[in-house]
């Protein structure tokens, strides 16, 4: 058996990012061959990835990449916010977003096979990240835009990502709209995009809230009262009707008109939305760990 020196262990650790004891075991198993040991750790990492696959990953990061009229958002999840802030996780997510942009992948399955700058596929790099960081990591969602119009890709603290396509105006205006969408999360773009059944339901609710005395008013007056309330609600749920966050004296519609722009579309992703988080108390978590 080859003598496993501390320097050899250190070299393998720096090369693979695996733990000190894992590196020593890998070198022992492979008679000190560093290349074989690195491969052994890779395979070990894949096994660990399988074991962690059932664990809920509801934290993470929205990574952004943009160039030449193309932009992407990729949501990548981890189990804890601690790992989501780790420099290795951040580097992995940035590399995946760039791979999505370069490959043109528009769905997660295609993205898994896309190559990173390192030559690894996204799926291979994901498995290696799981081995290194010790948590389940999932590439969950991707959103993209390819257009000749102005595009903005905006990330707010890595927790919210927004893509915006704007006809006319300029890139700065598009970015301002992306910041607005991140902050206000409008469900719809313009009043015309608000579904008729939503409007009908709101009318029903507003009518039910009115007093019996108000309901006795003439139909045209009643319609005007209800119409005003519905117009306010529609403004609240549509981008164009909201006060523009960068200039609240204007609505987004007024700001767009002043900029000679029209917001074509937007997409907003927030980390972990729609994922049911499992909450366990500390005592139960310790008891569970003791049984493993």
Domain boundaries along the sequence of the chain: 6-52, 59-146, 191-263
Assigned architecture for domain 6-52: Orthogonal Bundle (1.10)
Residue 54 has a pLDDT of 57
Six-digit token string for 46:
């894949």
Span 30-89, pLDDT tens digits: 898 888 888 787 776 644 555 555 566 679 999 999 999 999 999 999 999 999 999 999
pTM of the predicted protein model: 0.75
Among candidate residues 134, 136, 160, 130, the one with its CA nearest the CA of residue 63? 160
Phi, psi dihedrals of residue 22, rounded to the nearest 5° = -65, -40
* CATH code for the part of the protein at 59-146: 3.30.479.20
The single residue listed with the structure tokens 């609505």 is 251
Dihedral (Cα; 247, 251, 252, 255), 10-degree rounding: -60
Residues 6+ apart with CB under 8 A from 162: 73, 152, 153, 154, 155, 156, 178, 179, 181, 182, 266, 267, 268, 269
Q: How do residues 198-208 score in pLDDT, each as one tens digit? A: 999 988 888 78
State the DSSP code for 276: P
Assess whether the region 6-52 and the region 59-146 belong to the same CATH fold. Answer: no
Residues of the chain with pLDDT under 70: 1-2, 16-19, 44-57, 276-292
From the CA atom positions of the chain, what is the Rg in Å? 26
């Amino acid at each position: 058996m080859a003598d496993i020196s501390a320097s050899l262990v250190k070299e393998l650790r720096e090369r693979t990012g695996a733990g000190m004891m894992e590196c020593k075991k890998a070198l022992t198993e492979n008679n000190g061959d560093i290349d074989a040991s690195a491969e052994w750790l890779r395979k070990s990492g894949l096994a660990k990835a399988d074991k962690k696959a059932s664990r809920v990953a509801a934290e993470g990061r929205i990574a952004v990449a943009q160039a030449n009229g193309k932009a992407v958002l990729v949501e990548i999840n981890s189990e804890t916010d601690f790992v989501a802030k780790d420099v290795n996780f951040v580097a992995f997510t940035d590399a995946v977003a760039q791979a999505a942009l370069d490959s043109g992948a528009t769905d997660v399955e295609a993205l898994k096979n896309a190559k990173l700058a390192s030559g690894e596929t996204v799926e291979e790099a994901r498995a290696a990240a799981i081995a290194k960081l010790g948590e389940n990591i999932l590439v969950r969602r991707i959103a993209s835009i390819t257009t000749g119009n102005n595009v903005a890709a905006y990330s707010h603290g890595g927790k919210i990502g927004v893509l915006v396509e704007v006809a006319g105006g300029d890139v700065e205006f598009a970015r301002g709209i992306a910041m607005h969408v991140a902050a206000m999360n409008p469900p719809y773009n313009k009043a015309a995009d608000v579904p008729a059944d939503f409007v009908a339901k709101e009318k029903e609710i507003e009518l039910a809230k009115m007093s019996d005395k108000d309901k006795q008013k003439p139909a045209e007056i009643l319609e005007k009262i209800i119409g005003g309330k519905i117009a306010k609600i529609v403004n609240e749920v549509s981008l164009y009707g909201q006060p523009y966050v960068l200039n609240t004296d204007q609505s987004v519609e007024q700001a767009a008109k002043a900029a000679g722009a029209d917001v074509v579309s937007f997409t907003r992703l927030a980390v972990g939305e729609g994922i049911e988080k499992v909450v366990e108390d500390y005592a139960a978590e310790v008891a569970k760990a003791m049984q493993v």
